[in-house]
Amino acid sequence: MSSAEEMRRRTRELLAAHPPASTDRLDFLRARFDAGLAWVHYPEGLGGLGAPRSLQAVVDAELEAAGAPDNDPRRIGIGLGMAAPTILQFGTEEQKRRYLRPLWTGEEVWCQLFSEPGAGSDLAALGTRAVREGDNWVVNGQKVWTSSAHVARWAILIARTDPDVPKHRGITYFVCDMTDPGVEVRPLRQITGEAEFNEVFLTDVRIPDSRRLGQVGDGWKVAQTTLNNERVAIGGMRLPREGGMIGPVSRTWRERPELRTHDLHQRLLKLWVEAEVSRLTAERLRQQLVAGQPGPEGAGMKLAFARLNQEISGLEVELLGEEGLLYDDWTMRRPELVDFTGRDAGYRYLRSKGNSIEGGTTEVLLNIVAERVLGLPAEPRTDKDVAWKDLAR
């Protein structure tokens, strides 16, 4: 049932019944979902076959060879990487059937309404309120750093449902309809000139109780599933040598000898070594995961990635000299995709500043490594037994 041969057979059946060349892209993706070949480790009827996750590669290879369209995963990363695993684990049967298929095909884009202006590193202190009214919850508050909010149909949302208990206990997890009239999305322009992210203002947004994920007050626990899956997605990358930020600067160095100085040479060689070792560390982590021996190393990968991106792009701007004084374009745009190594050196330098903030600041991640990996004492927790409404803010 779950052998590679069986996967190949099913994939060929799908291709025979829906030849990619003569099938509408969306029709093909829906048929693939219904055949259980979307994500084979998901249950039957929900786009999967309950097969080992590793067999997905067999399916993907067959489909790629046949020139089948994919679901453009980069465009729907939040849905695939964060919303879907959470819905799968905590959703009701009805919720799973309603949301997962259009999520996977990309018909419905998802975004994440977690961070707030007053709740960044201390996410659990969030203040967006959800008040029960009959079968609905009425939501008021402000969210921030929301990518894809302007194109999203749905959002995963955490909001405070009980201000009278300590912060972790009074949160509930919802699915929010982004087309509700109380949802206002405003672009949030960042230092690069563009607006990759949004602010989302929620004013008397009515969410039916049927769109709650998990129990009332269990939202923090549910959100852990979402956030853990974010880290898995970051740790799974595989790069060739010079595959990251070190690539463009190394090419510039080779192609433009007139820019070289001795000082820059020493710094470039040092960063090249660090980038190569970081790549090997990521590869080692990947091999550990494949071998079924996941280690705590993943916690450190993002730390190294952020620092290296910043130092390398900073060096690159300097290397370019007079050109480094220029910037390609400050025009305000709302890009759908983000490419850290895209555009010019100035953009890379500015965008990489966010790498040590997004997805957990370097300072918080160092605490996590110190406490969970090294077992050092936790930071003092003065808010642990205090009702949320009594916290300093």
Partner 1 sequence: MSAQPDLLYSEEEEALRAAVRDLLADHCDAPGVIARTESDASHDREAWKALADGMGLAGLLVPESLGGQGATHREAAVVLEELGRAVAPVPYLTSAVVATEALLACGADELLGELASGRRIGALAVALNVAPGGAYKVVRHEGGALHGDLTGVADAAAADVLLVPADDGGLYAVDTTAATVTPQVSLDLTRPLATVTLDGAPGRLLGDAEPAVHRALRAGAGLLASEQLGLAEWTLTETVRYLKERKQFNRPVGGFQALKHRLAQLWLEVVNLRAAARNAADALTTGEDADLAATVAQAFAAPVAVHAAEEALQLHGGIGMTWEHPAHLYLKRAKADSIAYGTAGAHRQALAGLADLQAP
Min CB(63)–partner 1 separation in Å:
24
Min CB(272)–partner 1 separation in Å:
6
Nearest to 90 by CA among 148, 156, 37: 156
Q: Do 108 and 139 form a contact (C-beta atoms < 8 A)?
A: no
* Cα–Cα distance, 356 to 224 (Å, whole number): 20
Which residue is it, tokens 């626990």?
Answer: 221
* Cα–Cα distance, 351 to 138 (Å, whole number): 36
* Cα–Cα distance, 105 to 47 (Å, whole number): 10
Q: Give me the phi and psi of 257, to 5 degrees please.
A: -60, -25
Closest CB to partner 1 among 56 and 288? 288
Q: How buried is residue 221: exposed, middle or buried, by Cβ count under 10 Å (0-12/13-18/19+)?
A: middle
Per CB under 8 A, residues contacting partner 1 are: 240-241, 250, 253-254, 257, 260-262, 265-266, 268-270, 272-274, 276-278, 280-281, 283-284, 287-288, 291, 293, 297, 300, 303-304, 363, 366-367, 369-371, 373-379
CA distances from 334 to 138, 186, 286 (A): 30, 11, 33
Q: State the sign of the Cα–Cα–Cα–Cα dihedral 45, 172, 148, 123.
A: negative
Which residue is it, tokens 């660090």?
Answer: 274
Closest CB to partner 1 among 188 and 364? 364
* Cα–Cα distance, 252 to 260 (Å, whole number): 10
Q: Give me the phi and psi of 92, to 5 degrees please.
A: -75, 165
Closest CB to partner 1 among 21 and 374? 374
Cα 236 to the center of its chain, rounded Å = 12
Min CB(356)–partner 1 separation in Å:
13
* Cα–Cα distance, 92 to 272 (Å, whole number): 49
Min CB(284)–partner 1 separation in Å:
4
Closest CB to partner 1 among 165 and 369? 369
Min CB(248)–partner 1 separation in Å:
13
Q: Which two tokens stand for residue 282?
A: 């990521």
Closest CB to partner 1 among 12 and 265? 265
Min CB(199)–partner 1 separation in Å:
31
DSSP 258: G
Closest CB to partner 1 among 122 and 274? 274
Closest CB to partner 1 among 254 and 385? 254
In the set 108, 194, 199, 230, the catalytic residue is 230
* Active-site residue, 230 included: yes
Min CB(365)–partner 1 separation in Å:
8
* Cα–Cα distance, 151 to 78 (Å, whole number): 12
CB atoms within 10 A of CB 288: 15
Catalytic residues: 230
